[in-house]
Amino acid sequence: MRFIYFVGTAGSGKSSLVYAFQEWLTLQGLDSITVNLDPGVENIPYQPDVDIRDWVRVDDVMESYGLGPNGAQIVAADLMAINAKDLAESLEKFRTNYVLIDTPGQIELFAFRQSSEVIMEELGKEDAGLIFLADPNLCKSPSGFVSSVMLAATVHFRFSIPFFTVLSKSDLLKEEELEAILGWSESPESLYDALSGTIDSKVLLSIEIFKALETIGAYKKVVPASALEPNGLEDIYAMLQQSFEGGEDLSND
């Protein structure tokens, strides 16, 4: 089993991509299951095979701890750690190639709380990968793109598993916007040039920063994808395969 975590800022398209990617895998004859790790979600576009809400629910936490929605989200995220073993056990009964893991809307709940690490440890890090969804609206401007890379780096720094950046909802971008973003993601120099036109950023950021981000693997070519069209799913698959097996295809068992 390979575990793929879909991580991104609120509304970046995680749940839609999990759904679209599963559909795509099914079309290729590859089996996968989905896991919802968002204890506060109300509507999910797919039917999760394993759902953290069977153990922890934000509305229950609000009631029993007398908390507001934000405080309850944090407590719920922490409570997930207690159920990590049960979650792992419930996954054991499946025989599948890929486990697609949808993470909470608020990225900090997954990236900055301990429970995600506990869950990752429990499921196993050896066959795991993390897909970071970059928001297309943020990435449109050079400074927004830098912010996205910095956030990706912050998330990457927390988890020692293979890391991939997908430019989510790519259908929302005009051709020239998409090209610009891909160009920035391929060359720190071109990003630096684009930034040079903007006030202050030149003072704040040196090309050395991008080079350092490149070294740790956070600054790399983004793969555009759209759950809506759908598009780019094959590229995501190829990227994962390359990481897992050095490019070999998966068999169904």
Ligand X SMILES: Nc1nc2c(ncn2[C@@H]2O[C@H](COP(=O)(O)OP(=O)(O)OP(=O)(O)O)[C@@H](O)[C@H]2O)c(=O)[nH]1
* Residues at the site binding ligand X, with contacts judged by CB under 6 A: 8, 10-16, 38, 105, 169, 171-172, 226-228
CB of 200 to ligand X, least distance (A): 30
User: Is residue 242 classed as helix, strand or coil in its secondary structure?
Assistant: helix
Binding segment toward Mg ion, per CB under 5 A, in 7-15, 46-54, 176-184, 235-243: 7-15
- Structure-block tokens of residue 241: 């395969």
172 binds, among ligand X, Mg ion, none (CB under 5 to 8 A by kind): ligand X
Q: Quick one: 110 or 184, whose CB is closer to ligand X?
A: 110
144 binds, among ligand X, Mg ion, none (CB under 5 to 8 A by kind): none
Q: Quick one: 167 or 191, whose CB is closer to ligand X?
A: 167
Given CA atoms 10, 218, 224, 44 in this order, what sign does their dihedral have?
A: negative
CB of 101 to ligand X, least distance (A): 12
Shortest-Cβ-distance residue relative to ligand X: 105
Of these, 9, 12, 15, 168, which contacts Mg ion (CB under 5 A)?
A: 15
228 binds, among Mg ion, ligand X, none (CB under 5 to 8 A by kind): ligand X
- Residue 51 CB burial class (10 angstroms; 0-12, 13-18, ≥19): buried
Q: Quick one: 107 or 194, whose CB is closer to ligand X?
A: 107
Q: Quick one: 73 or 185, whose CB is closer to ligand X?
A: 73
25 Cβ neighbours under 8 A, 6+ residues apart:
31, 32, 97, 98, 237
116 binds, among Mg ion, ligand X, none (CB under 5 to 8 A by kind): none
Dmax of the chain from CA atoms?
Answer: 56
CB of 169 to ligand X, least distance (A): 4
DSSP E strands in 77-228: the ranges are: 98-102, 128-134, 163-167, 223-224
Q: How far is Cα 149 from Cα 21, in angstroms, rounded to an integer?
A: 23
- Point out which residues pair with 2 in neighbouring strands: 98
CB of 196 to ligand X, least distance (A): 31
Give the number of other Cβ atoms within 10 Å of residue 156's Cβ: 23
CB of 227 to ligand X, least distance (A): 4
Q: Quick one: 72 or 194, whose CB is closer to Mg ion?
A: 72
Q: Quick one: 166 or 191, whose CB is closer to ligand X?
A: 166
204 Cβ neighbours under 8 A, 6+ residues apart:
none
Question: Are 12 and 108 spatial neighbours (Cβ–Cβ below 8 Å)?
Answer: no
- Point out which residues pair with 51 in neighbouring strands: 36
Binding segment toward Mg ion, per CB under 5 A, in 10-18, 85-93, 183-191, 199-207: 10-18
Q: Where on the chain is the footprint of Mg ion (CB under 5 A)? A: 14-15
